[in-house]
């Protein structure tokens, strides 16, 4: 196990921080693909925790969640701040219980961000596990040994791969 503390320099504040940064996505990919006109004049809502895209043929519901990627030979995992889509029923239940510190439930959802280095022919099914104490829900992919991301989630990635992903995402945000 790597016993040296991991540090990174924040691209926003320039300060050095202990631990790795979470690799975050500001919105679901579906929202990011909308034109500015549809975002401003369409029936869309986006805040730090919820996103709703209302189109003529359907309404899509998203929540922000966390995903922790195991890093082989390291005590720390690589954290992602991503979005999942939920059914309307699950979205309403989550919204209604958002401030309930004791609400623990598992929803079915679909990963709604395209993580770098993986090809997607469709979304990946996820269990969305809410946590006590009003922490963001954590997601766990359904087992699918044919998808490289799911394989990496369960087997872990190397320390070098984790650091490469952090560096690549830092360039995207800076």
For the chain, the structural domain boundaries read 22-173
Residues written for the chain = 174
* DSSP 8-state code for residue 74: B
- Compute how many other C-beta atoms are within 10 angstroms of the C-beta atom of residue 86: 25
pLDDT band (50, 70, 90) for residue 20: confident
Provide the token pair at 158: 């190397």
Helices assigned H by DSSP within the chain = 29-32, 36-41, 88-96, 148-155, 159-173
Provide the token pair at 106: 């598992």
Please give the average per-residue pLDDT across 24-53, as a whole number.
Answer: 90
Whether the pLDDT of residue 67 is over 90: the answer is yes
3-state DSSP call for residue 98?
A: coil
More confident call, 168 vs 78: 78
Rounded to two decimals, the pTM is 0.85
pLDDT band (50, 70, 90) for residue 105: very high
H or E element at residue 127: strand 125-129
Given this model, what pLDDT does residue 169 score? 77
Please give the average per-residue pLDDT across 96-106, as a whole number.
Answer: 95
* DSSP 8-state code for residue 71: B
């Amino acid at each position: 196990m790597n016993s040296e503390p991991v540090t990174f320099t924040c691209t926003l504040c320039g300060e050095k921080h202990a631990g790795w940064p979470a690799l975050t996505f500001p919105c679901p990919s579906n929202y990011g693909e909308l034109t500015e006109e549809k975002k401003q004049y369409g029936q869309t809502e986006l805040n730090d925790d919820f996103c709703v895209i209302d189109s003529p043929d359907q309404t899509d519901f998203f929540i922000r969640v966390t995903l922790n990627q195991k890093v082989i030979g390291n005590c720390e995992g690589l954290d992602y701040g991503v979005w999942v889509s939920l059914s309307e029923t699950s979205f309403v239940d989550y919204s209604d219980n958002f401030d309930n510190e004791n609400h623990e439930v598992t929803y079915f959802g679909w990963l709604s961000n395209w993580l770098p280095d993986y090809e997607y022919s469709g979304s990946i099914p996820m269990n969305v596990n809410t946590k006590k104490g009003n922490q963001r829900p954590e997601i766990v992919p359904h087992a699918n040994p044919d998808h490289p991301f799911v394989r990496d989630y369960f087997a872990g990635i190397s320390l070098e791969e984790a650091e490469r992903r952090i560096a690549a995402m830092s360039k995207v945000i800076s």
